[in-house]
């Protein structure tokens, strides 16, 4: 078997129609200000990952859902909804004390939250 040289998924781009509005939701989700902020791209560096917002409209409804691990799922849901997001699936236990929830950003992109007890 050949030696694998990949480093895993480190960059995720989310398509949005309004960078300024989306920036507020993602700033609330990530808890940091963007490191790149221009009319054609907004990028955040968080915990070794790069999260980018690109102006091109919403993702496909059957796109994969990224789950952000958080310490307090209810507090984070409140924070992102205050910034303009909409709860899609309220926090619920999926077994073993693990809570998950999903929300949509202003373009309908689905993002997930995950809290382990």
| Mean confidence (pLDDT) of the chain | 88
Q: What is the pLDDT of residue 1?
A: 52
Integer Cα distance of 38 and 21 in angstroms: 13
Tell me the C-alpha to C-alpha distance, in Å, between residue 79 and each of 18, 27, 34, 51, 103: 19, 10, 17, 18, 12
pLDDT tens track for 12-23:
888 888 999 999
Sign of the CA dihedral running 67, 68, 70, 74: negative
pLDDT tens track for 58-82:
667 677 788 889 999 999 999 999 9
**pTM of the predicted model, to two decimals?**
0.75
Integer Cα distance of 89 and 69 in angstroms: 16
């Amino acid at each position: 078997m050949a030696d694998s040289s990949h480093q895993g998924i480190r960059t995720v781009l989310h398509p949005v129609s309004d960078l300024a509005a989306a920036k507020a939701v993602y700033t609330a989700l990530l808890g940091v200000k963007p490191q790149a902020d221009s009319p054609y791209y907004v990028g955040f560096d968080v915990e070794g990952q790069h999260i980018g917002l690109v102006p091109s409209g919403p993702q496909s409804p059957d796109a994969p859902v990224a789950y952000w691990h958080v310490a307090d799922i209810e507090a984070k849901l409140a924070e992102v909804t205050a910034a303009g997001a909409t709860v899609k699936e309220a926090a619920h236990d999926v077994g073993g004390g693990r809570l998950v929830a999903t929300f949509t950003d202003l373009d309908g992109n689905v993002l997930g939250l995950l809290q382990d007890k």
